Amino acid sequence: MKILVVEDDKLIGESIKEYMELKGAKVDYFSDPQQALESVSPTYYDILLLDINMPQIDGYQFYEQFKLYHRKRGEIPVIFITAYSDIEHIEKAFNMGASDYIKKPFQLKELELRIKRLVFNKTQKIEITPNYWFDVENGQLFYKEKEVPLTPNERSFLEILVKNLGKVVEVEKIKDYVWEGKPVCDNTLRTQVRKLRNKLKENFIVNVRGSGYKIEKKA
C-alpha cells in the first residue's frame, strides 16, 4: 500500500508516516503542498491523506490540482484531515469527492482503520488461479494454502498487479510503485519478473509488449 500525506504540521505528518510505515505501508510525506504537486505527478498512490488548512494551497485546492494530473488513473480515495468541526467544511469535503474525513486530534490507530477500510475492499483474498490466491492486506501469495516466500519487491509487484487484476499496468507505474520512485532501468524489472516466474508453478504474469504487465485471472 502506498500513501501520500500532505500536512503542514510536521509533528502530525511525520507521526503518520512513521506509524503507517511500521504497519508495512510506503509513505511519501510533504509539509509543503506545492512541493508535493511538483514531486508526485508520475506517482501511483492507493490513498491520499490531506490536511485542509494549509497556507498558499489548502487541501481542497491541492486535491483539485492533483486530480487534474491523475485523470487517467481513476479515482484515488482521499481522507481530509482537519481541526474544523463545522458542518460546512465537512459538507464541502464530501461534495469534492472525499472518501472520509477525520478531525484533529485523532488516534493513529483510528486513522489506520479508516485507511484500511478504503484501500482494502471486502474481499481481501483474491483468487488468481484455482491454486493461487493473494492476500491483499498482508501482501502474501499462497499456492494450495501454502505461502510462497516473496522478496519485498516481488510483494509490491504482485500487489499492484492484483489491485488492477486483468488490466495492463504500465511499466513506469510498476517501477515507481516497487522501487518507490528511485530510477531503475527496464532490465531490472524484467530480471525481477523472471526470478518471480521461476518461483511459480503456473505462469499467470503476462507481459504486454511495449506497454506493461498484467495478471490474467485463470479459471
Domain ranges of the chain: 2-119, 125-215
The confidence score (pLDDT) of residue 89 equals 86
What percentage of the chain has pLDDT greater than the value 90? 56
Domain range 125-215, CATH architecture: Orthogonal Bundle (1.10)
Residue 74: what pLDDT?
53
Question: Using 50, 70 and 90 to split pLDDT, how confident is the model at 41?
Answer: low
What pLDDT shows up at residue 110? 96
Task: Return mean pLDDT, the chain.
Answer: 88
Task: Tell me whether domains 2-119 and 125-215 share a fold.
Answer: no
Entry pTM = 0.66
The residue assigned the cell 459538507 is 91
pLDDT over threshold 90, residue 197: yes
Model confidence at 190: pLDDT above 50: yes
- In sequence order, the 6+-apart residues with CB closer than 8 A to the CB of 80 are 50, 51, 52, 59, 93, 98, 100, 101, 102
Q: What is the CATH number of domain 2-119?
A: 3.40.50.2300
Q: Residue 26 in contact with residue 119, Cβ under 8 Å?
A: no
C-alpha grid cell for residue 199?
A: 518461483
Render pLDDT for 60-81 as a digit per residue (tens, 0 to 9): 999 998 888 765 455 789 999 9
Mean pLDDT over residues 38-47, rounded? 76
Residue 49's CB is within 10 A of a number of other CB atoms, namely: 28
- Beta carbons within 8 Å of 206's beta carbon, 6+ residues apart: 213, 214, 215, 216
